[in-house]
């Protein structure tokens, strides 16, 4: 009898609901759906950040080969500028031009108001704390940061201690003496809200390889190889 009843109960389940119950059930369904959508949006943002790096690697490799005006995809509002890596941490990412919110969704971005990494002054590269610069908190003073520019120059910087500053009081002077690099991301690292504080790691140029003219197949393939394993996937 009980199975019979339960079958019948199931069959006529919706029909038997009172108006109030339908509303409650609908509300529950909507919360579940909304939750799924919101979570999916978050997952999508992360997935976009990780997966796009593959396309960016391709575009950057093309730029390294000397192709000009290579946009990662036709409707992108940025170009690839450089590749940044932290050898000790085994991290690597393609740097984009112009730190618009759009560019930052896909990769670390070089602030256009600052000089190119390796040029006189302080170049600033910013990235999201929960994706591309998740490793910034692990950078220790003395760590090497390697930036490969699209003109083929490979620049090695030595990191200094990190500090925390407000976004509008960064204390970073783009025209400062020397050849400096500042990496910035949001702080605190594990917060889920947006805040005005930034974590800044400054680094000083130690080695600057000259511009590599012509193809250097070994290093290129090296880059291409490493690009396949996304540095941030493990996080």
Partner 1 sequence: MSLDAQLARTQPSRGNFNLGVAFALMALSLSFLMLAGLFVRAFAETPPARETMPSLVRPNDMGTGALLFPSSQPGYFVEAPRLATDVEIDVTGPIMRTRVTQRFQNPSKGWVEGTYVFPLPEDSAVDVLKMQIGDRFIEGEIKLREEARQIYEDAKAEGKKTALLEQQRPNIFTNQVANIGPGETIVVQIEYQSSVHQSDGAFSFRFPMVVAPRYNPQPIVQTVDLDGSTGYAVGDPVPDRDKIEAPVLDPAKNARINPVKLTIKLDAGFPIGALTSPFHEINVKDNGDTGRLITLKADSVPADRDFELNWKVAAGKTPQAGLFRETIAGKTYLLGFVTPPSEAGANEEKPHREVIFVIDNSGSMSGTSIEQAKESLALAISRLGPNDKFNVIRFDDTMTVYFPSPVQATPDKREQAIAYVRGLTADGGTEMLPALQAALSAQGPVAKDALRQVVFLTDGAIGNEAQLFEEIAGNRGDARVFTVGIGSAPNSHFMTKAAEIGRGTFTLIGSEDQIAARMGELFAKLENPAMTNIAANFDEKTVRDISPDPMPDLYRGEPVVLTAVLDSTAPKGMLRISGDAGRQPWQIAIDVAKASEGKGIAKLWARRQIDDIEATAYSAADPASVDKKIEEVALAHHLVSRVTSLVAVDVTPSRPNDEPLGSAKVPLNLPAGWDFDKVFGEEGTGGATQRAQLAPAPEAEMVADMMAAAPTARAAGMIAQAAKPVALPQTATLADRYILIGLLMIAIAAMASVAFGIWRWQMQGLATANAGTRYEH
- 111 counts as binding partner 1 under rule CB under 8 A: yes
Specify the residue, 111 or 139, whose C-beta has the smaller distance to partner 1.
Answer: 111
Per-residue x/- track, 162-201, partner 1 (CB under 8 A): -x-xxxxxxxxxxxxxx---x-xxx----xxxxxxxx-x-
Burial class of residue 59, CB neighbours in 10 A (0-12, 13-18, 19+): buried
- 23 counts as binding partner 1 under rule CB under 8 A: no
Please choose, from the candidates 159, 158, 136, 146, the residue with its C-alpha nearest in 3D space to the C-alpha of residue 222.
146
Per-residue x/- track, 118-157, partner 1 (CB under 8 A): ----x-x-xxxxxx-x------------------------
Specify the residue, 166 or 215, whose C-beta has the smaller distance to partner 1.
Answer: 166
State the nearest-atom distance from the C-beta of 92 to partner 1, in Å: 18
How many H-runs (helices) and E-runs (strands) does the chain carry? Answer: 5, 8
| Contact of 128 with 107, CB cutoff 8 Å | no
- 36 counts as binding partner 1 under rule CB under 8 A: yes
Q: Which of 64, 82, 96, 109 binds partner 1 (CB under 8 A)?
A: 109
Instruction: Give 97's contacts (C-beta < 8 A, 6+ positions apart).
Output: 78, 79, 80, 81, 103, 109, 110, 112
CA-CA distance, 218 to 203, in Å (whole number)?
A: 27
Give the range of 55-63, 99-107, 139-147, 210-218 binding partner 1 by CB under 8 A: 99-107
Q: Where are the alpha helices (DSSP H) in the chain?
A: 2-11, 13-16, 19-64, 101-104, 217-228
Q: Which of 14, 43, 51, 161 binds partner 1 (CB under 8 A)?
A: 43
State the nearest-atom distance from the C-beta of 221 to partner 1, in Å: 30
State the nearest-atom distance from the C-beta of 34 to partner 1, in Å: 6
DSSP state of 187: S
Backbone angles phi, psi at 141, to 5 degrees: -55, 135
- 161 counts as binding partner 1 under rule CB under 8 A: no
Please choose, from the candidates 140, 73, 84, the residue with its C-alpha nearest in 3D space to the C-alpha of residue 107.
84
- 101 counts as binding partner 1 under rule CB under 8 A: yes
State the nearest-atom distance from the C-beta of 181 to partner 1, in Å: 12
CA-CA distance, 82 to 151, in Å (whole number)?
A: 9
Interface of this chain with partner 1, residues 195 to 214, rule: CB under 8 A: 195-198, 200
């Amino acid at each position: 009898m009980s199975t019979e009843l339960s079958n019948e109960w199931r069959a006529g389940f919706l029909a038997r609901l009172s108006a109030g119950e339908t509303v409650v059930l609908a509300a529950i369904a909507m919360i579940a759906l909304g939750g799924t959508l919101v979570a999916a949006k978050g997952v999508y943002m992360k997935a976009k950040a990780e997966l796009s790096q593959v396309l960016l690697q391709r575009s950057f490799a093309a730029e390294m080969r000397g192709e000009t005006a290579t946009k990662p995809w036709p409707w992108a509002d940025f170009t690839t500028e450089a590749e940044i890596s932290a050898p000790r941490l085994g991290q690597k990412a393609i740097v984009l031009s112009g730190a618009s919110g759009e560019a930052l969704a896909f990769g670390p971005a070089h602030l256009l108001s600052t000089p190119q990494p390796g040029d006189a002054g302080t170049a600033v590269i910013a990235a999201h704390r929960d994706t591309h610069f998740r490793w910034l908190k692990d950078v220790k003073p003395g760590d090497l940061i390697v930036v490969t520019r699209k003109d083929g120059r490979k620049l090695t910087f030595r990191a200094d201690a990190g500090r925390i500053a407000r976004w509008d009081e960064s204390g970073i002077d783009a025209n400062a003496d020397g050849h400096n690099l500042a990496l910035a991301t949001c702080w605190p690292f594990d917060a889920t809200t947006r805040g005005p504080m930034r974590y800044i790691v400054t680094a000083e140029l130690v080695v600057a390889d000259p511009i590599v003219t012509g193809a250097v197949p070994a290093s290129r393939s090296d880059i291409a190889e490493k690009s396949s394993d996304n540095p941030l996937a493990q996080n």
